[in-house]
């Protein structure tokens, strides 16, 4: 249905085609002006018209596949009301004669009454409590894991420190033993050198005695 057909559909109810065309134009003009000005036009049960801002983004050219930057823009948007949705989905029957009623649905008719709402709230509370308990359990597990890891690291550090200290002591003992051996070795060599000197003196004394005896 286009605009002309819409005018023809309501011409009989408004007393003629001219009056129907003026009514359609007036309604559409009022909606467009309000949406352009940033206002929201809401018709209870039918729907609402509003202005939506879209930020700058990147899109692709469907023909070339090239990436194109799209500037920030504003677009009109229509959201159908619940009564309109019910008629389109078939949950409500469209009357054969007379005007279609798209009034606001009574409270409880769409959600199953107050008992259903209460049940939904109770279920939501239970779900929230379960989530909170799960978060606490997870936090406790993470804390325990951190403590265990810290304890392991501390024990490993202590063992490493002990090993390092033992290695240092062993190295110090070896160095002391090497120094003592080095000091003892020259002393023994000096003693060994002195011993042949005594033998030489003894030989000289014997030679002198022999020479004296010959002279006599």
Q: What is the 3-state secondary structure (H, E, C) of the chain?
A: CCHHHHHHHHHHHHCCHHHHHHHHHHHHHHHHHHHHCCCCEEECCCEEEEEEEECCEEEECCCCCCEEEECCEEEEEEEECHHHHHHHHCCCCCCCCCCCCCCCCCCCCCCCHHHHHHHHHHHHHHHHHHHHHHHHHHHHHHHHHHHHHHHHHHHHHHHHHHHHHHHHHHHHHHHHHHHHHHHHHHHHHHHHHHHHHHHHHHHHHHHHHHHHHHHC
Work out the average pLDDT over 178-195.
Answer: 53
Q: What is the pLDDT of residue 94?
A: 82
Radius of gyration of the chain (CA): 54
Listed in sequence order, the residues at least 6 apart from 108 whose beta carbon sits closer than 8 Å to its beta carbon are 114, 116, 117
pLDDT over 50 (residue 119): no
Note whether residue 174 is domain-resident. no
pLDDT higher at 110 or 141: 141
Note whether residue 71 is domain-resident. yes
Work out the average pLDDT over 206-212.
Answer: 67
Q: State both tokens at 18.
A: 């001219």
Model pTM?
0.44
pLDDT over 80 (residue 183): no
Number of structural domains in the chain: 1
Q: What is the pLDDT of residues 32-71, one digit of tens each?
A: 999 999 999 999 989 999 999 999 999 999 999 999 999 9
pLDDT over 60 (residue 193): no
Q: What is the pLDDT of residue 93?
A: 86
**Highest mean pLDDT: which range of 87-91, 101-105, 142-146, 162-166:** 87-91
Note whether residue 27 is domain-resident. yes
Give the pLDDT band (50/70/90) at residue 31: very high
Give the pLDDT band (50/70/90) at residue 165: low
Work out the average pLDDT over 180-205.
Answer: 54
Work out the average pLDDT over 108-120.
Answer: 39
Q: State both tokens at 157.
A: 């550090």
Note whether residue 79 is domain-resident. yes
Note whether residue 146 is domain-resident. no
Note whether residue 16 is domain-resident. yes
pLDDT over 60 (residue 198): no
CATH number at residue 45: 4.10.520.10
Work out the average pLDDT over 119-145.
Answer: 61
Q: What is the pLDDT of residue 95?
A: 79
Q: What is the pLDDT of residue 59?
A: 92
Q: What is the pLDDT of residue 114?
A: 38
Note whether residue 143 is domain-resident. no
pLDDT over 70 (residue 74): yes
Q: What is the pLDDT of residue 96?
A: 75
Q: By residue range, what is the domain housing residue 91?
A: 3-107
Note whether residue 183 is domain-resident. no
């Amino acid at each position: 249905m286009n605009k002309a057909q819409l005018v023809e559909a309501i011409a009989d109810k408004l007393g003629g085609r001219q009056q129907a065309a003026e009514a359609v134009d007036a309604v559409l003009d009022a909606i467009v002006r309000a949406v352009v000005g940033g206002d929201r036009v809401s018709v209870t049960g039918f729907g609402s018209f509003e202005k939506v801002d879209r930020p700058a983004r990147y899109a692709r050219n469907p023909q070339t596949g090239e990436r194109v930057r799209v500037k920030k823009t504003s677009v009109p948007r229509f959201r159908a009301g619940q009564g309109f949705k019910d008629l389109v989905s078939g949950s409500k029957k469209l009357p054969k004669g007379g005007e279609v009623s798209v009034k606001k649905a009574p409270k409880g008719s769409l959600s199953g009454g107050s008992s259903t709402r209460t049940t939904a709230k109770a279920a939501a509370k239970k779900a929230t409590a379960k989530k909170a308990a799960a978060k606490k359990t997870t936090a406790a597990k993470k804390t325990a894991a951190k403590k265990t890891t810290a304890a392991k690291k501390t024990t490993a550090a202590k063992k490493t420190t002990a090993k390092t200290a033992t290695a240092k002591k062993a190295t110090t003992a070896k160095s002391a033993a090497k120094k003592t051996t080095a000091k003892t070795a020259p002393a023994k060599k000096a003693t060994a050198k002195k011993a042949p000197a005594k033998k030489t003196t003894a030989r000289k004394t014997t030679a002198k005695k022999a020479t004296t005896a010959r002279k006599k």
